[in-house]
Amino acid sequence: MSQFRVGIGNDIHLLVEGRRLILGGVEIPYERGLLGHSDGDSLTHAITDALLGAAALGDIGSHFSDLDTRWAGADSLVFLRHVRGLLEDLRFEIANIDATILAERPKMAPHVAEMKTRLAGAMGIDQSQINIKAKTNEGLDAIGCGEAIGAQAVALIVVQTNGL
């Protein structure tokens, strides 16, 4: 007997000069990067929040405070690996992740395969269990003006119960 649980994640970071652009754990060559206490990886943050939401474990800020110097400049895949451990402790298994990057520039398609490899590795799942899409914001709002990159994610997790 299984119980399915779904979670949603949403994140956005400002694009600024003098920062590396990291999305899905992959460094993407670009003239600007995402501003944040950690590496600013909005895709990884959205997925982390979706998993926490599915497990009713709060949000990324409550687990990894931006006031905590341990997370300054942190590789956000560390957050994802930590949440994977929390889920395992609660006997949750990840069924699948679906995510969308919202970015006007640069092109994400050349980097999606590597993002999937890194994210799946951090979560301990197969690449067939994660989908990453990318779209522009049609020139609208901060994302469309190239001032920020956002991401959305949903996660489905399954709780394994005893009593077959």
Report the interface residues with Mg ion, using CB under 5 A: 11, 45
Q: Which residue is nearest to Mg ion (CB)?
A: 45
8 Å CB contact between 63 and 83:
yes
Residue with smaller CB distance to Mg ion, 27 or 126: 27
Residue with smaller CB distance to Mg ion, 123 or 148: 148
Residue with smaller CB distance to Mg ion, 11 or 104: 11
Q: Is residue 96 left, alpha or beta, with left meaning phi > 0 and alpha meaning psi from -120 to 50? A: beta
Beta bridge partners of 99: 132, 153
Q: How far is the CB of 35 from Mg ion (least distance, A)?
A: 10
What torsion do the CA atoms of 63, 67, 69, 71 make, to the nearest 10 degrees?
A: 40
Q: How far is the CB of 60 from Mg ion (least distance, A)?
A: 7
Q: How far is the CB of 139 from Mg ion (least distance, A)?
A: 23
| Consecutive H or E run containing 151 | strand 148-160
Tokens of 128: 């067939």
Q: How far is the CB of 163 from Mg ion (least distance, A)?
A: 39
Residue with smaller CB distance to Mg ion, 38 or 111: 38
Rounded CA-CA distance 3/99 in Å is 22
8 Å CB contact between 117 and 126:
no
